[in-house]
Amino acid sequence: GQQLNQSPQSMFIQEGEDVSMNCTSSSIFNTWLWYKQDPGEGPVLLIALYKAGELTSNGRLTAQFGITRKDSFLNISASIPSDVGIYFCAGPSGGSNYKLTFGKGTLLTVNP
Amino acid sequence: GAVVSQHPSRVICKSGTSVKIECRSLDFQATTMFWYRQFPKQSLMLMATSNEGSKATYEQGVEKDKFLINHASLTLSTLTVTSAHPEDSSFYICSAHAFGQGGTYEQYFGPGTRLTVT
């Protein structure tokens, strides 16, 4: 089945720094979704991307849909302590049942 | 964005008993909902796809007689963990599929249910 390789697995940064994480796939995706999960909570959709080359922002977050349709990245600018959490990339697994394939997540720690 | 709720948020039960978890889409209709299981520091593992008015589709390795799913309406899906054992202790999360603007695809998650079986 399809697999998403997400990196890095974890990041430790200082407040105010910028962050970048990415996802790659061996197969083409038509949609890329980026989620954030706080401890003990469900994932929250941050950004959805639908076109190759698309660059979309949501506040301090920016995500891009790679031209090859096999990768996507998420940038967080000027990080703050509440950015702490696990960030997941995801994309439809194919077929008509709308299942998602998830990356393994990037654990972000922000030191005040 | 679309809102999905789950109830209860936490439940502790004794081994051998059954537990029901509800998942509701609050402000949209969801013909398709999903149930995931998540272990600490791991990604989400899809258990089953729940379709309104039809039988759920289970992922390989998930016991359908143990994890009963009922999608009785366009806004409610339930997961019942039958004859629970300590190894069933986990974080269970539901999600609902919704179409965004222009028919684009989005999936929204509930807040999760922490199940502890003693």
- Asked whether the predicted pLDDT for residue A10 surpasses 70, the reply is yes
**Digit-coded pLDDT (tens) for A19-45:** 999 999 988 888 999 999 999 999 999
Please tell me the distance from the alpha carbon of residue A51 to that of residue A10, in angstroms, as a whole number. Answer: 28
C-alpha dihedral (B97, B103, B105, B110), degrees to nearest 10: -30
CB pairs under 8 A between A and B: 59
Q: Which two tokens stand for residue B8?
A: 């209860």
Check whether B116 has a pLDDT greater than 60.
yes
Q: Which of A38, A29, A32, A20 is nearest to A2 (CA)?
A: A29
Q: For residues A88 and B44, is the Cβ–Cβ distance under 8 A?
A: yes
Q: Are A7 and A106 in contact (CB under 8 A)?
A: yes
Flag whether residue B21 sits within 8 Å of chain A, measured between CB atoms: no
Using a CB-CB cut-off of 8 Å, the residues of chain A touching B104 are 31, 48, 50
Residue-level pLDDT at B103: 59
Beta carbons of B92 and B36 less than 8 angstroms apart:
yes
Mean pLDDT of chain B: 91
Average confidence score pLDDT of chain A? 93
| Mean pLDDT, residues B91-113 | 83
Q: How would residue A92 be classed by pLDDT, with cut points 50, 70 and 90?
A: confident
Other C-beta atoms closer than 10 Å to the C-beta of A93 total 15
**What is d(CA A33, CA B108) in angstroms, rounded to the nearest whole number?**
11
Based on the number of CB atoms within 10 Å of its own CB, is A107 exposed (0-12), middle (13-18) or buried (19 or more)? Answer: middle
- Of the residues A9, A98, A106, A109, the best mutation for testing chain B's interface (the one with the most B CB atoms within 10 Å of its CB) is A98
Is-contact B76 B109, C-beta < 8 A? no
Least confident of A57-71, B3-17, B48-62: B48-62
Which chain B residues contact residue A107 at CB under 8 A?
41
Amino acid letter for position B87: E
What is the band of A95 on the pLDDT scale with cuts at 50, 70, 90?
Answer: low
Residue of A nearest to B98 (CA): A98
What pLDDT does residue A9 have? 96
Inter-residue contact B109 to A42 (CB < 8 Å): yes
The confidence score (pLDDT) of residue B28 equals 86
Yes or no: say if A91 and A31 are a contact pair by the CB < 8 Å rule.
yes
CA distance B89 to chain A (A): 14
Which residues of B fall within a CB distance of 8 Å from A2?
Answer: none
Give contacts of B 46-65 with A, CB under 8 A.
46, 49, 51, 57
Taking a C-beta distance cutoff of 8 angstroms, is the pair B3, B74 a contact? no
- Asked whether the beta carbons of residue B44 and residue A102 sit closer than 8 angstroms, the reply is yes
Contact B108 A45 (CB under 8 A): yes
